[in-house]
Amino acid sequence: MKYSWNVAQEVLSVAPPLQGAFREALQDFVFNGFTIPKGWKLYWSANSTHKSAAYFPEPQKFDPTRFEGNGPAPYTFVPFGGGPRMCPRKEYARLEILVFMHNLVKRFKWEAIIPDEKIVVDPLPMPAKGLPIRLFPHKKA
């Protein structure tokens, strides 16, 4: 199931369930030449974090192998947040995702009804027509 989880993490990097969050600056600091004063409210974006080429080479490429070994640096892959505010149900979500993927792959083959369906971003990447598929049960041996 290790590779399955790598695939799931790559999907979560493309479309994280947590889009971001607001934080308050605890002290003055400079970011990209801009001074951010203490007390300002900031919004960090998980989607933008996952698109950083500094931490994810070829971020537009679907590559589950980027999660092999130690994976990305801490706080660069944050679909469930990070640190003390990390989603408390992260491990439950992991189990649910893996069980769903296992049953889908073991029980069905599928085909896309619209093979070249476009992806639109509003605000998440989504198939333009909802990704209709046909499921075919695997034949019993």
Whether the model pTM is above 0.85: no
* Domain membership flag for residue 132: no
Instruction: Report whether 87 belongs to an annotated binding site.
Output: yes
Q: Is residue 138 part of a domain?
A: no
* Assigned domain for 71 exists: yes
Q: Give the phi and the psi of residue 53 in degrees, each rounded to 5.
A: -65, -20
Q: Provide the domain count of the chain.
A: 1
How far CA 108 is from CA of 64, 104, 114, 129, 135, in Å, comes to 22, 6, 18, 22, 6
pLDDT in tens, 18-72: 888 899 999 999 998 999 999 999 998 888 889 999 999 999 899 999 999 888 9
pLDDT tens-digit series, residues 74-106: 889 999 988 888 889 999 999 999 999 999 999
Domain of residue 93 covers 2-108
Residue 92 in any domain: the answer is: yes
Q: 113 lies in a domain? A: no
Helix (H) or strand (E) holding 72: none
- Average pLDDT estimate for 109-121: 92
Residue 104 lies in a domain: yes
Identify whether 43 is part of a domain. yes
In a domain, 98, yes or no: yes
